Amino acid sequence: MEAATRTTIIQPDVAFLRDLEAAGGGDAKKCFQCATCSTVCALSPDNAPFPRKQMLEAQWGLKTPLLRDPALWLCHNCGDCTSRCPRGARPGDVIGALRNLAIRHFAFPQFLGRLYATPKAWPVVFLIPALLFLGIALLSPSGPAEAAPEFAHQFPILILEAVFFALSGFVVVAMAVGVWRFGKAMKAAGGGPILPGLIPVIADAVVGGRLRDCQDRRRWRSGHVLMLSGFVALAAVGTVIGVGTMFGVMETPLPLGSAIKIFANVAAVVILAGSVILLADRLSDPARRQASGWFDWFFLGSLAAIALTGVLSQVSRLAQAETLMYAVYFVHLVLVFALFLSAPYSKFAHFLYRTVALASVEPKRRLRI
Ligand code: SF4
Ligand code: SF4
């Protein structure tokens, strides 16, 4: 009797393969499936090891299963597998590129996801906020001639609040739609309910979690921790100041010696240190430098530049260097706007997508983030 046979037809998505290459995952084609990467990865679970399987799917251009695979988000890009891959296929970077493509795929609206993914878009990304803030500066009445120069004379606080309030509303909606689409995809791929898994996943992230298990790239790890902690601190203090001024219980600029101001300045320096370490980490490794896309450079470069221009704005204001202080503050506002608008499409979105993916597998695998 003839044995039953099953034929599986694989249809590679050629456009997806091109996108993967452009996003920095082109080395996937070098993989010869030795499985060293899955063996050395400290985060790879025994019952569903990665990233060998994902490397094969990437070679085959299997877009749908890849973009809804929670394993992309279990990887923390520590580089242990990349440094041990005998073929130079850079599995860690391929998984990172796949994560970027997943964010672009689930983005809302999608054209903005695509816009932020390509270097060709940089004039648009920076030009629109530049024109906006230039218009505000030109149309605002200058302060009294005898008064010391203040940022609010060229960039009135009420107008800035209105701009960033509207931007926040858009960012929250875009982020929520993207994460909702992603959550649905996780469910379709067999993931469990998200809400019950959230608490253990977030609790583990707060205490340092999965990054501890990675062996290599200690410099990258410390840069990551510095940047994240500085960013959380600055976001918290920015929210307090924003709400405080909106309800009239605070007045900006805060005195240099105020506790909130000192805290904010320390946080800015911590972000600057973290982003410089991460930039140096990428630049010092030629292969990693080549595998890095616009997505990586834009985020790290903007964060470093925002922290730097924030500090320089204050220094030039204290020195009463009028032209310089307005020019630096203008650049600072443009960068903050561009980075804030990128939140649903950039590394900010990584944090939310990763949390959702981990929460969806948590009940099954009891994984630590
Ligand atoms: S990516 Fe490298 S280590 Fe992993 S299976 Fe392929 S060749 Fe082996
Ligand atoms: S980069 Fe690190 S966490 Fe990601 S698959 Fe490789 S070894 Fe695992």
In a shared domain, residues 50 and 166: no
In a domain, 168, yes or no: yes
Residue 156, domain CATH: 1.20.950
pLDDT above 70 (res 128): yes
The verdict on 163 and 41 lying in the same domain is: no
Q: Does residue 288 share a domain with residue 221?
A: yes
| Residue 117 covered by a domain | yes
Question: Is residue 149 domain-shared with residue 291, that is, in the same domain?
Answer: yes
Residue that is last in its domain, among 91, 106, 121: 106
Task: Classify residue 3: in a domain, yes or no.
Answer: no
Token code pair at residue 301: 């470069």
Within a domain: residue 236?
A: yes
Residues 194 and 298 in one domain: yes
- Is 91 touching ligand 2 by the criterion CB < 6 Å? yes
Q: Are 334 and 129 in contact (CB under 8 A)?
A: yes
Q: What is the pLDDT of residues 176-227, one digit of tens each?
A: 999 999 999 998 888 878 887 777 777 666 555 566 665 556 777 788 888 8
Q: What is the pLDDT of residue 190?
A: 83
Q: Which domain holds residue 79?
A: 14-106
Note whether 56 and 195 are same-domain residues.
no
CB of residue 31 inside a 6 A radius of ligand 1: yes
Domain-terminating residue out of 66, 85, 106:
106
Residues 95 and 114 in one domain: no
Q: Which among 87, 94, 95, 98 is the best mutation to test ligand 1's pocket, defined by most ligand atoms within 8 Å of the CB?
A: 87
- The predicted pLDDT at position 11 comes to 81
Regarding whether 163 and 291 lie in a shared domain, the answer is: yes
- For the chain, the domain total comes to 2
Residues 317 and 245 in one domain: yes
Q: Are residues 129 and 60 in the same domain?
A: no
Q: What is the atom index within ligand 2 of the atom nearest the CA of 210?
A: 3
pLDDT confidence of residue 215: 57
Q: Based on the domain organization, do 228 and 307 belong to the same domain? A: yes
Whether residues 178 and 290 fall in one domain: yes
% the chain with pLDDT above 90: 42
Question: pLDDT tens, 345-355?
Answer: 987 888 889 88
State in Å: Cα 53 to ligand 1 middle. 9
Whether ligand 2 lies within 6 angstroms of the CB of 75 is answered as yes
Segments in 33-156 forming alpha helices (H): 36-40, 52-60, 63-67, 71-74, 80-84, 91-106, 110-117, 122-139, 151-154
The mean pLDDT value for 251-266 works out to 86
Write the burial class of residue 171 (CB in 10 Å: 0-12 exposed, 13-18 middle, 19+ buried).
Answer: middle
- Determine, yes or no, domain membership for 116: yes
Q: Is the pLDDT of residue 368 over 50?
A: no
Domain assignment present for residue 4? The answer is no
Domain assignment present for 5 = no
96 lines ligand 2 (CB under 6 A): no
Calculate how far, in angstroms, residue 224's C-alpha sits from the geometric centre of ligand 1. Answer: 26
Domain assignment present for 35:
yes
C-alpha closest to that of 293 among 41, 156, 121, 173: 121
Residue after which a domain boundary falls, among 41, 75, 106: 106
Confidence at residue 9, expressed as pLDDT on a 0 to 100 scale: 80
Q: What is the pLDDT of residues 302-351, one digit of tens each?
A: 989 999 999 899 899 889 888 999 999 999 999 999 999 999 998 788 88
The predicted-structure confidence for 55-72, as pLDDT tens digits, reads as follows 999 999 999 999 999 999
